[in-house]
Amino acid sequence: MRPFIDTNIISELMRREPASSVRSWAVRQSGFLVSSIVIKELIFGVTRKNLQMKRQWLDEFLLHHCESLAVTPAIARHSGILRGQLATRGITRHPSDMLIAATALLHQAPLATRNTADFEHCGLQLINPFSP
């Protein structure tokens, strides 16, 4: 099963010297799943900072290594339910994170992220490639 990757994993891989644990984890994967929400976040970052070389790297990475998954009505619905259920327990989550979580859940894929706390209590299998 290809892992679903969060923004911070791709951002790390874009670095001139990515963390060795993330790099070695990434090369062992057969490809990645990525949400259109993650793509939006990454494009915003490289555009805001006018990072043309990173934008080119990102475009190539997405084209050759990722399957992009759109936010569907089913994902939006599941995201709202998930965020609402967490809110009833006093757990506040960002809407974008819940869209990412719902996409991973509905595609039954583990989520690779450095920010595992942002996705706890969502029923996801979490992978932190930054951890040894």
In the chain, what are the domains?
Answer: 4-127 (3.40.50.1010)
Q: Within 13 Å, how many C-alpha atoms sit on residue 30's CB side?
A: 2
pLDDT of residue 31: 97
Q: Residue 26 is which amino acid?
A: A
Confidence (pTM): 0.94
Provide the residue-wise pLDDT of the chain in tens; the chain has 132 residues.
Answer: 899 999 999 999 999 999 999 999 999 999 999 999 999 999 999 999 999 999 999 999 999 999 999 999 999 999 999 999 999 999 999 999 999 999 999 999 999 999 999 999 999 999 999 997
Nearest-angstrom CA–CA distance, 101 and 24:
24
Residues in contact with 47: Cβ distance below 8 Å, sequence separation at least 6, in sequence order: 55
